[in-house]
Amino acid sequence: MRLPPCFAAFGAILLASCNGASLENEGEVGQAAVVQPVATQAARPVPVATQELASKPLPTQTPTPGPTTFIYDGQLTQGGWIRGQAPGGTVSATLDGERLALDQGGHFFAAFDRDSGSGAVLVARLENGRVIESPVSIAPRQWNLERVNVARRPGGASEAFMARRRPELAQINAARKAEADTAGWNQDFVWPVTGRISGRFGSQRIYRGVPGSYHSGIDIATGGSGTPVVAPADGVVTLATPRPFSLEGYLLIIDHGQGLNSAFLHLSKIAVAEGDAVKQGQYIANIGSSGRATGPHLHWGLKWRNARLDPLLFAGPMP
């Protein structure tokens, strides 16, 4: 349900009251009250403070006024995302057990993996001990599956390859756990480059019934090496490799805040350095074919924590 513009600031509260969802008499302290979330297109305030998550200790948060249930907008489908606001008085919130970062107004970002199930649950714990659970439906998608009548190659990577690969993976994992204090997650993303989409997110080969790895991002071909790449949203550079990685080639990772990050693969040049703050639309790199690539193109991947996401659901149709 979408609220009229005049309800943008307080529509969720009115709607919850009309539906008998007021929390004044609902449930006992410590018990979970199931309250449906409300879809809205209310303006998204830019956060002024973000809690750090993952393995870092969480500071005590002062509860703030807000709606009586979760309000949100987004793409509620596999590989999609959700931006919203937690109920007033929330001191901590989760999505299926994954801790959410909350700014001082209780706003958050979360997302759904390519293989997410049909539903998830938002949970808010309030300062008065109440627990609010809000179920969220996740729409399934039809992926581009190619079934081939050949067996998948047996065996794994050689020890010589893994000796080089392990340090690379350690750097990638560290860069994706940074969670910088930036508000790029709150923006409408733009395409880092325009061109022909040569590889779609989620596509996968099935080898005689055995699934291979699915494509974890989107490939964009522009016809040649050297095309400039721009930042799709504000962020902080957490990895800019000085030499090509074995698979990704020259690799750039930008943290957009709240656990959301972009990775840009197969570059010919990186124009920013680790620790740099970048703005949406800023020149950051050039397309190439470094690493394991068959020709010049940009592979753009998006992740929220451990969930892999579809860039098309962030940037919209290619211009």
Answer whether residue 172 is part of any domain. yes
pLDDT by 10s per residue, the chain, length 319: 333 333 333 333 322 323 333 323 333 444 688 888 888 764 455 443 333 333 344 444 555 568 999 999 999 999 999 999 999 999 999 999 999 999 989 999 999 999 999 999 999 999 999 999 999 999 999 999 999 888 887 767 888 999 999 999 999 999 999 989 999 999 999 999 999 999 999 999 998 888 999 999 999 999 889 999 999 999 999 999 999 999 999 999 999 999 999 999 999 999 999 999 999 999 999 999 999 998 999 999 999 999 999 999 999 999 9
Residue 2's alpha-carbon distances to 193, 203, 310, in angstroms, are: 32, 32, 24
Asked whether residue 70 falls in the same domain as residue 151, the answer is no
Domain that holds residue 53: 5-137
Asked whether residue 71 falls in the same domain as residue 120, the answer is yes
The one-character DSSP state at 5 is G
Number of domains the chain contains: 2
Asked whether residue 178 falls in the same domain as residue 235, the answer is yes
Asked whether residue 95 falls in the same domain as residue 238, the answer is no
pLDDT tens sequence across 37-84: 888 764 455 443 333 333 344 444 555 568 999 999 999 999 999 999
Among 108, 137, 166, which residue terminates a domain?
Answer: 137
Asked whether residue 183 falls in the same domain as residue 301, the answer is yes
Q: Is residue 39 within a helix (H) or strand (E), and if so which, with residue range? A: strand 38-39
Answer whether residue 44 is part of any domain. yes
Answer whether residue 319 is part of any domain. no
Asked whether residue 13 falls in the same domain as residue 122, the answer is yes
Asked whether residue 296 falls in the same domain as residue 175, the answer is yes
Rama region for 85: left / alpha / beta (φ>0; ψ in -120 to 50; rest) = beta
Answer whether residue 26 is part of any domain. yes
Asked whether residue 123 falls in the same domain as residue 151, the answer is no
Q: List the CATH number of the domain containing 206.
A: 2.70.70.10
Asked whether residue 113 falls in the same domain as residue 175, the answer is no
